[in-house]
Structures are given as C-alpha cells and as structure tokens.
Amino acid sequence: MNQSETQPNASATEHFDVIIIGAGISGIDAAYHLKKQCPTKRFAVLENQQSYGGTWLTHKYPGIRSDSDLFTFGYKWKPWTSAPIASAEEILSYLDSALDEEALRQYIRFGQTVVKASWNSDNKCWQITSKVGADGQQSHFSCNFLWMCQGYYQHKKGYTPDWPNMDQFEGDIIHPQTWPEGYNYTDKDILVIGSGATAATLVPAIAEKSAHVTMLQRSPTYFFPAPNRNELADTLRELDIPDAWTHEIVRKKILLEQQQLTERCVTDPESVRVELLTAAREYLGDDYDIDTHFTPSYRPWRQRLAFVPDGDLFKGIKAGKASVVTDEIDTFTSAGVKLKSGRELRADTIITATGFDLSVLGDIEFVIDGKSLDFADTWTYRGIMYSGIPNMAWVFGYFRASWTLRADLISEFVCRLLSFMDANKSTVVTPCLRPQDQDMPALPFVDADNFNPGYLARSMHLLPKQGDHAPWVFKQDFYAEQTDIPAADLQDGSLLYE
C-alpha cells in the first residue's frame, strides 16, 4: 500500500482548526477522538515518515515487539484479538486496520518534517513550517490548536555512550534504532551492551542464528517472565464472547493486576523482588548466579520491568546460546571490549542497546510572539498543557503502564476542552499560575525517587517543572488520573480563556 500523498502548493498556507503532529500510536488515537468527539473540526495529521506507526515503523531490529500487553497498549476503541505481546508487524497491521475502519487515513500528510511552530497572539493561531522531500522544500500550515503526538525520543539515532577507543574495533558497531537492512549475523559472535527491554528482545531473537550472544550489563535489570497468552481472553473467546467485550473485560483485569503489582512494589518491594528472582531461577536453575546477574540494587519498578514472553531470554541462556556478563567497559579493542575487571570480551559485532535520547516537543523550534520558547521555563498543567503556551497539548505517556492509556485520557481531555471553548466562544486557552500557585516549589517533571531511567536523568533539565499541588502536577499514575483528568475543572482559574 502506497502511503504517499500529493502535497499541497508549497507556497500556500493551509489552515486547520487542529493540527496533530505525528501518525504513531498517539497521533492516530488523537485523530480518532477528534473525529468522533469534535466532528465539526477540520484537522490534519503531519507525519515526517512516509507511512504511519512511529516507533513500530522506524525500528527494524530483529524480534522487535511490544513490552506492554496489547489489551492496554492497544486502543480501548479497537479490540485486540491475538497474543498479549505483539511483534512490530502485528502492531502495524492493527494500526492499518484502525486507519481503514475509522476512515482516518485521509487526514494524514506524510513526509512532512515540522521544523518550526510560531504562535501569533494577534492572529490567535499557530504558524507551522515543515520540510518536504530530500530537497527540503517548505510547506506552510496554520491552526488554532496544536496537538503534539510525536513521541518523546529521537528516532534518527539512539543514545550511545562515548567509550574509549571505539574506533579501534574492527567489527561492526550497531545501535538497534538504526539497524542495517538485511544485516547478516549468522554464525557471528555478538556482544549486546545493555540489559533493558531492547536487549531482552534482541538477545533471544538473534541467539539461534548467531554463534553466541553475550549480554553485557553494567548493572542488572528486573525481568518478568510469563506466558505470552491470557487465560481469561482464551476462555472468553472459546465462549464466543464478542471481541469488544473480551477486550474490555481482559483490559480491566490486567489494569487491576498491574495496579496491585505497582502498589506492592512500593509497600512490599522485598516480596516482589523475591517473586521476580524466583521466576528467573525456575528457568535458569539453582546453580545459576542470580545474585550477580539478575538482582538489581533498586526496588522493583523504580525502572521499567522488562517483560520476557515465555521466558525466551532465560531459555536462550539456559541452552548455552546466550550468556550474561555483569561488568563495566574499560576500553574498546580491535577484537571487542576490555572490561574493568581485566577480562576481554571478543566479538564480531557489537550492538549498543544503550537507550535513546529524549526529544522535547519533537525537537521543533517553538516561538511564542517572536520569543524562542525555553520549555524548561514552563510549568506543566496535569502533564498535558504548559504555562504560557497557548492552545497546545503534548502527549507524554506512562512509564509503568501502557503509553496508550494516557494518550486516551489526553485525547478525551483535549476534545472536552475544545468543545468547552466552542460553547463559551473562546478561541485561546493558556495555562497560567494563579496567585495561590506562585510560591510552589519547582519540582522535576518526573520524580527521580519514583522513576529514574538514564534517558530521563540525562534530559531532565530540558523538561518543564511541576509543582506540589493540582493542577500543576504530573502524577505518572493511571489509576489516579483515570478519575482526575476526566473530572478536571476547566474553570478553576488555571486556564485563561480569550
């Protein structure tokens, strides 16, 4: 299917009521809600790739799959009918069906790389500049409301630490985000640096064809092995329960179980730790050094739990096709890496599964009435809108729950806000601190004691502040926000209307 569209005249400026940036999980969700809840709004989705899907389109590394179940990562408005953990191909197929079933494809402008967004208070609208094609021809759009759904990390390249003497290594160094098409790793010794969700996916995916895979980690990660099936979903399907009912029932059950696990990680982290390590030991055996390689120093869920469907990572280790080394890199060598312990790991290929770099507002240049926006100077309104920025929302999802859960909540909030503004004949809404908010402490956008992965720690200085009371807090808690956001008072004085 060809996703390309005929582009409008580059010299003209097309105007829309709403422009959505990004045609990934969040952007498609926003388009669905906008079409359903605000049917009179004229809108467009600007996507810099030539097709839809975001992460699931741009990432090509072997075995790429979700690390959240599709009953909650999938949309609440479109049933998921397969195994809970899905491949990128399955997710793209699901999105493809969603676009067709809801007639959303017509709204997407592909190949539009937005480079600048300027708000003009006189015109009360955003001016959007994008580049099209290899020659960088410009397109121009304007809109009343801007909805940022571009995700939160850079897709063009991943994060790779600057290790000493990387240029001396004579083999290939690959970051999963830029996996070479058709790369042949058959019978090669592979060194995967990192132990997060990407490494947990890659290692079992390449273990069978490669000679051996070594996962090198600086410190252990909690892994959560479980069958890639849902017994309740299987039972309901056997009973011929409609897909929509099955989806909703299983979704609610999973959310309840996830809530209980999250609460236990705070109130009784030791018992959760024991359960996770016991599950690993059941796959690896009593003689495996669980303490060294699979026992993190932090409590469970302070960083994301890496789900291992059917224990495939552990099975690869048990079978001898993969191994884990816990150590730090001293330097790269011509044949691999030398560790601080003095040991050398030899490899034909080194894969740096070391994470990503945060992308703040899509790395787009933002200007408010002629002044460049420093996003870090703003305060977050419920983790959705930002002080001093008119008519703009940014979708930033959950760390401990599926991203899509928050995309849904934000979509419903934005549509409610737009309808409220129409009913009150308002054209501009801007979050602003009230008198009672002026003395709030400036807290980080995400509490490091609550969640502290490296990509956030490296980029926290680029992100907005939050306060210590509503609506200036970003809870990162679906179970609270599923009530709080729908009930948010649009007239409490924190949103100024014109």
In whole angstroms, what is the distance from residue 303 CA to residue 317 CA?
23
166-352: same fold as 13-155+357-497?
yes
Instruction: For residues 288 and 317, give the distance between their C-alpha atoms in angstroms, rounded to a whole number.
Output: 10
Amino acid letter at 132? V
- Amino acid 452: pLDDT: 65
Token pair for 278: 């016991």
> Residue 459 — pLDDT band, cuts 50, 70, 90?
confident
Question: Which among 69, 102, 81, 114 is positioned nearest to 361, based on CA atoms?
Answer: 114
Angle between helices 269-284 and 243-267 (to 10 degrees): 110
Tokens coding 369: 């009435």
Using DSSP's 3-state secondary structure scheme, residue 240 falls into coil
Return the beta strands (E) in 92-230 as ranges.
Answer: 108-109, 112-120, 125-132, 137-148, 172-174, 189-193, 212-217, 223-226
With 0-12 CB in 10 A as exposed, 13-18 as middle and 19+ as buried, what is 113? middle
pLDDT at 1 over 80: no
What residue spans define the domains of the chain? 13-155+357-497, 166-352
Q: Which helix (H) or strand (E) holds 259?
A: helix 243-267
Token couple for 472:
């200036």
Tell me what the mean pLDDT of segment 40-47 comes to: 98
Residue 140: count of CB within 10 angstroms of its CB: 17
Burial of 135 (0-12, 13-18, 19+ CB in 10 A): exposed
How would residue 457 be classed by pLDDT, with cut points 50, 70 and 90? confident
Q: How many angstroms separate the CA atoms of 318 and 327, rounded?
A: 20
CB-based contact 93:63 (threshold 8 Å)? no
What CATH code would you report for 166-352?
3.50.50.60
pLDDT in tens, 328-343: 999 999 999 999 999 9
* pLDDT higher than threshold 60 for residue 8: no
Identify which of 99, 308, 92 has the alpha carbon closest to the alpha carbon of residue 221: 308
Query: Model confidence at 455, in pLDDT bands (50, 70, 90)?
Result: confident
**7: confidence class by pLDDT, cuts 50, 70, 90:** very low
Is pTM, for the whole model, over 0.75?
Answer: yes
- Angle between helix 25-37 and helix 403-423 axes, rounded to 10 deg: 30
Decide: 307 and 254 in contact? Cβ < 8 Å: no
Which secondary-structure segment (H or E) carries 443? strand 443-444
The burial of 284, by beta-carbon neighbours within 10 Å (0-12 exposed, 13-18 middle, 19 or more buried), is given as buried
pLDDT in tens, 483-494: 999 999 999 999
List the Cα angle 255/260/261 in 5-degree steps: 95
Residue 304: phi, psi to the nearest 5? Answer: -65, 135
Average pLDDT over residues 166-183: 96
How far apart, in whole angstroms, are the C-alpha atoms of residue 46 and residue 21?
5
The burial of 438, by beta-carbon neighbours within 10 Å (0-12 exposed, 13-18 middle, 19 or more buried), is given as exposed
- Average pLDDT score over residue span 442-463: 82
Q: Considering just the CA atoms, what is the radius of gyration of the chain in Å?
A: 24
**At residue 346, does pLDDT exceed 90?**
yes
What does the pLDDT look like over 425-447, one tens digit per residue? 999 999 999 999 999 999 999 88
Q: How far is CA 23 from the centre of its chain?
A: 13
Tokens of 422: 């129409």
Provide the strand spans (E) within 133-180: 137-148, 172-174
Q: What's the CATH class of domain 13-155+357-497?
A: alpha beta
Q: What is the pLDDT of residue 458?
A: 84
The residue type of 308 is V
Position 287 pLDDT exceeds 70: yes
pLDDT the model gives residue 404:
96
Q: Is the pLDDT of residue 413 over 80?
A: yes
SS3 374: coil
Contact 350, 202 (CB under 8 A): no
Average pLDDT over residues 311-335: 97
